Structure 1
Amino acid sequence: MPTTSTGSGRAGALVLPQAPDGFRKALKALRARAPLRSARLPAEPPWRSRFVSPHPAGPVTSLREFGYREEELWRWKGRVDDAALAGPWRILTEEGLDSLATVCGRLEAAAQDAGFTATRRLRAADLLSPFIANMIRDRDFLLTCSRLVGVPLIPHPLRLPTAQVNYGEGRGRQGGVRWHRDGMDYVFTIQLSGYDDYDGGRFTYFQGRTDEFPGPERADSRFREADCGERGATLFLHGSRIFHAVTPVTRGHRVTLVISLFCPYFARQDSNTFWHLAADDGIPATVPGWLRLKWPARNPAVDYSLRAGSPVVTWDDLR
């Protein structure tokens, strides 16, 4: 896999708070509400495999360039999981992007306020939208994502956080998406609006190890801004190994779809913790998915694909 620079610019002063951790995360789990799982929503267009761009390409930055050592990289029979940041690229055609934007616009009526951000969001969007459910389980879509990152990917077996739509708007509210790292390892963010539609809302990240993150108020030359302001731009992030944030939207409306995928071959290394998930969705809603994720698998590619309701993707498919 190539390890070229993403070409992202250096971010300015990013005095955003950091998301709760430790004991504060456990307290948040006790108060968290499960995401909405049913709602009356308007009809939506159908998903088509032709909506996947035929030859997407973009730069890739390796985990080694973020300071991770060779022995910290995950391996499977000579294959190495080394992608830290990839893109931006266009993963959907213009027709597919228009359809997805229409779907996410209609889903906004079901969005809920997020307790740790100024962003409204819809968790488990694929449970409400057949379009999104079919898109993230489309074999062409999954193969495209897998080949761009270099590991076989399927939808995450934890259904609630697999597809999330974020809605940010400039209505005088303070704060953005706080500095945090994800429980998910393979996170794809699709921009459904562009810089012409809003001010602020810049995706920022720290190009260093998570244990070197200096905190949000200290200056550091490793703070970066990803160049993903074009409508349709898709950015991959190894979310559990990279601290990232989004600056406040000060004008207009910013909509993104965040998709969390999963490599069944690295299931034992999956970075999710129970309390990280429960802090978002509450304890009762987290338990069933957590048990399904941790249930042993004889054939990772097949067993986890069945749990996710997904086509099987293997290393041979990446050739």
Structure 2
Amino acid sequence: MPMNSARSGRRSALDLPRTPTGIDQVFHAVRARKPRRIVDLPAEPRWRSEYVARDVRGPRMTLGEFGYRREELHHAHGGVDETATVGPVQILTPEGLDRLAEVCDKLEGAAGSSRFIATRRLRSADLVSTFINNMMRDRTFLLTCSRLAGVPLIPHPLRIPTAQINYFEGRGRPEIVRWHRDGMDYVFTIQLSGEDDYEGGRFTYFQGRTDEFTGVTEADPRIREAPCGERGATLFLHGSRIFHAVTPVTEGRRVTLVISFFCPYFARQDSNTFWHLAGDDGIPATIPSWLRLKWPVRDPAMDYSLRAGSPVITWEDVEGA
């Protein structure tokens, strides 16, 4: 996957804070508050399957290119969960992108602040937006995302962090995304603003193993930038295995929708940790979702799909691309 080196923003990117860990992470979990619900929901357009672009393909990198050994990866049905990044691609049609941007703009008034990962965001957006909920559970959309990632996907059963809208404005205190790796394994970020709308806001990542990130300097060529500036640009990231951040937005406005997916066939290998989730949403809000995620199942593909209110996506569906 061709990427541009983040030479112009490398120093500012490495100067970004890192997500708290250890005792600091527990401290955030104690202080965090459950995301608030919107009382007066704005009117929304209707989601349509035709909003998904056809034959979506894009440049791809494997986890092997990030230093992971094949035996460290998840295996199932004769396949390997080896995709690290895909994109940027245009996963929505221009009309679909306009409707999604319209919905996210209307929801901005409900965004809250956080010091854990992203500065200003709306969590569980699919629980307050019928449009986003239906988009994420649309079979055409899920098939497209699954084929890009190379594994069958459904919306993540952890409902609070499944869909997050990030809002960044270049005024006052800079709004950023700290250096972090996700609890989620399969993450798609849809850019709802074009690079002409803002300054800064560069998606930066470390092309190496997560255990090699500590001590990285600005001279390290593995600090790179994904060219996601075009409006509608969508990037898939194996979030739990890649350190990434977003540099400060210094002018204008940048809005993104981050959607987290789940592979039922790798349910036992899910990378989420309790304290990572609680650090963002608080302990009381995390406990019910955590128990629901870890509850024993007989048929993971069917059981988790029902929990997520999603169609079942199979390996045969993915391989039928």
User: TM-score range, shorter-chain basis?
Assistant: over 0.9
Partner AA of 1:188 in structure 2: F
Give the SS at the match of 1:255.
strand
Give the SS at the match of 1:64.
helix
Matching residue of 1:204? 204
Partners of 1:195 and 1:30 lie apart in 2 by 37
Structure 1 residue 219, shift from structure 2 partner: 3.3
Matching residue of 1:143? 143
Partners of 2:247 and 2:270 lie apart in 1 by 28
Partners of 1:206 and 1:197 lie apart in 2 by 26
Give the SS at the match of 1:182.
coil
Partner AA of 2:290 in structure 1: W
- For structure 1, the 5+ residue unaligned runs are none
Range 69-78 or range 249-258, more displaced: 69-78
Partners of 1:202 and 1:305 lie apart in 2 by 34
Matching residue of 1:230? 230
Matching residue of 1:248? 248
Q: What is the 5 A alignment of 1:51-70?
A: 51-70=51-70
Q: Over the residues paired in the alignment, what is the CA RMSD in angstroms?
A: 1.3
Give the SS at the match of 2:208.
coil
Range 281-290 or range 199-208, more displaced: 281-290
Matching residue of 2:295? 295
Matching residue of 1:8? 4
Partners of 2:124 and 2:185 lie apart in 1 by 17
Structure 1 residue 216, shift from structure 2 partner: 6.3
CA contact (8 A) 2:118 2:166 kept: no
Q: What is the 5 A alignment of 1:108-127?
A: 108-116=108-116, 119-127=119-127
After superposition, what is the alpha-carbon deviation per residue over 1:270-312, rounded to whole angstroms, capped at 9, x for unaligned?
Answer: 0000110011111111111111100111111100001111000
Give the SS at the match of 1:317.
helix
Structure 1 residue 117, shift from structure 2 partner: 5.3
Give the SS at the match of 1:204.
strand
CA contact (8 A) 1:188 1:236 kept: yes
The 3 A distance-change label for structure 1 pair 285 and 220 is: same
Structure 1 residue 213, shift from structure 2 partner: 0.4
CA contact (8 A) 1:118 1:176 kept: yes
After superposition, what is the alpha-carbon deviation per residue over 1:206-253, rounded to whole angstroms, capped at 9, x for unaligned?
Answer: 000000003465531100000000000000110000000000000000
Partners of 1:174 and 1:103 lie apart in 2 by 24
Number of residue pairs aligned between Structure 1 and Structure 2: 315
Partners of 1:47 and 1:169 lie apart in 2 by 28
Give the SS at the match of 1:86.
strand
Partners of 2:276 and 2:154 lie apart in 1 by 21
Give the SS at the match of 1:253.
strand
CA contact (8 A) 2:194 2:230 kept: yes
**TM-score, normalized by length of structure 1?**
0.96
Note if 1:191 corresponds to 2:158.
no
CA contact (8 A) 1:136 1:155 kept: yes
Structure 1 residue 42, shift from structure 2 partner: 1.6
Matching residue of 2:107? 107
Partners of 2:203 and 2:138 lie apart in 1 by 27
Give the SS at the match of 1:199.
strand
**TM-score, normalized by length of structure 2?**
0.95
Partners of 2:69 and 2:216 lie apart in 1 by 24
Note if 1:133 corresponds to 2:129.
no
After superposition, what is the alpha-carbon deviation per residue over 1:155-213, rounded to whole angstroms, capped at 9, x for unaligned?
Answer: 00000000000000000314621111010000000000011000000000000000000
Structure 1 residue 56, shift from structure 2 partner: 1.1
Partner AA of 1:43 in structure 2: A
Give the SS at the match of 2:301.
helix
- For structure 2, the 5+ residue unaligned runs are none
Partner AA of 2:259 in structure 1: I
CA contact (8 A) 1:118 1:173 kept: no
Partners of 2:215 and 2:198 lie apart in 1 by 27
CA contact (8 A) 1:265 1:301 kept: yes
After superposition, what is the alpha-carbon deviation per residue over 1:114-145, rounded to whole angstroms, capped at 9, x for unaligned?
Answer: 22357310000011100000000000000000
CA contact (8 A) 2:188 2:259 kept: yes
CA contact (8 A) 1:192 1:255 kept: yes
CA contact (8 A) 2:117 2:280 kept: no
Give the SS at the match of 2:224.
strand
Matching residue of 2:286? 286
Partner AA of 1:24 in structure 2: D
Structure 1 residue 55, shift from structure 2 partner: 1.2
Matching residue of 1:43? 43
CA contact (8 A) 1:39 1:128 kept: no
CA contact (8 A) 1:57 1:89 kept: yes
Partners of 1:118 and 1:314 lie apart in 2 by 33
Partners of 2:262 and 2:89 lie apart in 1 by 20
